[in-house]
Amino acid sequence: MKRIIYLIILMLVVFWLAIFVAVNLHEVEIKWFFGKTWGMAPLIVIILGSILLGALLAALTGGISQAKLLSQNRKQKKTIMRLEEELTALRKLPVEELEKEIREAEEPECR
């Protein structure tokens, strides 16, 4: 049943795209900034090119954000591992030594 639904949706999309292409086949003049013209091209090429360029820019910005998050995640994992190792080392210390280290850390240094 799912395959039939997917096939119907695919046929509708292809039909819509075919109509879209047929309606936008006329040639348009490509104008750049300050009134400069670059030539003529079918409108559908301009529309699809703009869509692809926008998708590419969105993917690039998303990729940069993703890379930053992955880098931050790696740093945090390293910090967690370091803190877990420190905690494990502290748990292995006898209670007397631990209390002594805590007292030494709390005492202000007189220099």
Residue 95 lies in a domain: yes
The answer to whether residue 94 scores a pLDDT higher than 80 is no
> For residue 45, what are the CA distances in angstroms to 1, 19, 21, 34, 37?
36, 15, 9, 22, 16
What pLDDT sits at residue 78?
Answer: 97
Is residue 39 helix, strand or coil? strand
Residue 111 lies in a domain: no
Q: Per-residue pLDDT averaged across 7-26, rounded?
A: 87
- Quote the domain boundaries for residue 40: 2-106
Residue 77 lies in a domain: yes
Q: For 22-72, what is each residue's pLDDT tens digit?
A: 887 888 888 877 778 888 888 888 888 888 999 999 999 999 999 999 999
Residue 84 lies in a domain: yes
Residue 42 near residue 25 (C-beta atoms within 8 A): yes
Structural domains of the chain, count: 1
Distance CA 107, CA 59 (A): 55
Residue 64 lies in a domain: yes
The answer to whether residue 109 scores a pLDDT higher than 70 is no
Residue 85 lies in a domain: yes
The answer to whether residue 91 scores a pLDDT higher than 90 is no
Residue 6 lies in a domain: yes
Task: Give φ, ψ of 28 to 5 degrees.
Answer: -130, 155
CA angle 63, 69, 74 (to 5 degrees): 125
